[in-house]
Amino acid sequence: MTAAATAMALSVTGGAAMAACDDGEIVIKFAHVTNTDKHPKGIAASLLQERVNEEMDGKACMEVFPNSTLYNDDQVLEAILQGDVQMAAPSLSKFEKFTKKYRIFDLPFMFKNIDAVDAFQTSETGQAMKESMTRRGLLGLEFWHNGMKQISANKPLMTPDDAKGLKFRVQTSDVLVAQMRALGASPQPMAFSEVYGALQTGVVDGQENTWSNIYGQKFFEVQDGITETNHGIIDYMVVTGVDWWDSLPDDVRDQLSTILREVTETRNAESAKVNQEAKQAIIDAGGEVRQLTDEQRQAWVDVMKPVWAEFEADVGAENIAAAQEFNE
Ligand code: LMR
């Protein structure tokens, strides 16, 4: 499919590409759950699609399905194994059924910023994690950044005590369930596409997410305010099926890997900026953003960090130590 044809397909579908692939092209369906605009993953997936369709024209064709239009994250990994989609980029919290190693990324206050996350992921320890699911049929290709998580509810959250007794939506991750229990709150695992409605109708009182997700899904409109805690991270693994990947002709696999690596480097370098822009967009739209003093933030650390001990055996004490080195 030519660049012009891709642009046309994108314009008629409002960014949810239903690119018609030419006969003989290898079709690569990429399903994800976020919006495409002002979002690190949405922008990266669109750029990947654009480059594959331009540079691999005649050989391969990528169709990106954003906004949970094809699958939510709980379904997409099975869909890859069934061969219904070829790529996805669920958050690292969504791989529990396939590996417990990624739990390190959900432990609260493990990384001080996205640079520390990047340094850990690009280290030997981090890179080895891409292969931790091959026995189960999945191969990690690249880490994609989103950013640091913030917390919000239908009332101001300044101290951990403020969260006590509230219901918080969490991603489907045992670490995040334990983190909310440590606060004395009630964790409610739920698909991303259902969160806005659940906040709006009071099924849950609060949530945690990155600025780009809080902006993109308009969570701020149905919350009292957002507290800037930077207490955790949301990052992604671009993932594929081992069988499909191995079935590709060598030249196609090499070119696709190169394009993906370049898109990863370009967009990961911009993820913090994209989140800062989303934060500003929330403020501009009248959303309330609350800052903590150092002392107030420390109170959240004191309550949440003991969760590490519960998961140390899953993630490895040596990996925790390695991650901590990148905070210095
Ligand atoms: C969530 O479920 O909150 C996130 O994993 C969504 C995403 O892909 O950023």
pLDDT at res. 253:
98
Asked whether residue 4 carries a pLDDT value surpassing 90, the answer given is no
CB 238 within 8 A of CB 144: yes
Judging by beta carbons within 10 Å of its beta carbon (0-12, 13-18, 19+), is residue 91 exposed, middle or buried? buried
Give the number of C-alpha atoms closer than 13 A to the C-alpha of residue 278, restricted to the C-beta side: 30
Atom of ligand 1 nearest to the CA of 213: 9
Nearest residue (by CA) to ligand 1, atom 5, is: 91
Nearest residue (by CA) to ligand 1, atom 3, is: 192
Atom of ligand 1 nearest to the CA of 191: 2
Out of 91, 151, 210, mutate this one to test ligand 1's pocket (max ligand atoms within 8 Å of CB): namely 91
Nearest residue (by CA) to ligand 1, atom 1, is: 192
Nearest residue (by CA) to ligand 1, atom 6, is: 192
pLDDT at res. 8:
45
Atom of ligand 1 nearest to the CA of 210: 9
Question: Please, which pLDDT band fits residue 10 given cuts at 50, 70 and 90?
Answer: very low
Bridge-based pairing state of the strands 87-88 and 225-241: antiparallel
Out of 32, 34, 267, mutate this one to test ligand 1's pocket (max ligand atoms within 8 Å of CB): namely 34
* Ligand 1 center–CA 23 separation, angstroms: 34
> Which has the closest alpha carbon to 275: 316, 219, 234, 318?
234
> What whole-number distance in Å separates Cα of residue 5 and Cα of residue 25?
14
Give the tens place of pLDDT for each residue, 197-223. 999 999 999 999 999 999 999 999 999
pLDDT at res. 275:
98
Atom of ligand 1 nearest to the CA of 207: 3
pLDDT at res. 78:
97
Give the tens place of pLDDT for each residue, 123-140. 999 999 999 999 999 999
What pTM did the predictor assign? 0.94
Give the tens place of pLDDT for each residue, 150-185. 999 999 999 999 999 999 999 999 999 999 999 999
Give the tens place of pLDDT for each residue, 39-85. 999 999 999 999 999 999 999 999 999 999 999 998 999 999 999 99
Average pLDDT over residues 217-239: 98
Atom of ligand 1 nearest to the CA of 39: 9
Which parts of 18-171 fold into alpha helices (H)?
40-55, 73-82, 114-122, 124-128
CB 38 within 8 A of CB 212: yes
Residues with CB under 6 A from ligand 1: 33-34, 41, 91, 146, 171, 192, 209, 213, 234
Question: Please, which pLDDT band fits residue 252 given cuts at 50, 70 and 90?
Answer: very high
pLDDT at res. 20:
75
Give the tens place of pLDDT for each residue, 268-326. 999 999 999 999 999 999 999 999 999 999 999 999 999 999 999 999 999 999 999 99
Asked whether residue 237 carries a pLDDT value surpassing 50, the answer given is yes
Question: What is the percentage of the chain residues whose pLDDT exceeds 70?
Answer: 94
* Ligand 1 center–CA 108 separation, angstroms: 16
CB 170 within 8 A of CB 180: yes
Bridge-based pairing state of the strands 87-88 and 186-189: unpaired
* Ligand 1 center–CA 211 separation, angstroms: 11
* Ligand 1 center–CA 271 separation, angstroms: 15
Average pLDDT over residues 254-264: 98
CB 30 within 8 A of CB 49: yes
* Ligand 1 center–CA 185 separation, angstroms: 20
pLDDT at res. 117:
98
* Ligand 1 center–CA 254 separation, angstroms: 29
Element (H, E) at 170: strand 167-170
Asked whether residue 7 carries a pLDDT value surpassing 50, the answer given is no
Give the tens place of pLDDT for each residue, 74-118. 899 999 999 999 999 999 999 999 999 999 999 999 999 999 999
Question: Please, which pLDDT band fits residue 12 given cuts at 50, 70 and 90?
Answer: very low
* Ligand 1 center–CA 192 separation, angstroms: 6
Give whole-number Cα distances, 88 to 40, 81, 162, 187, 299, in Å: 14, 11, 36, 26, 37
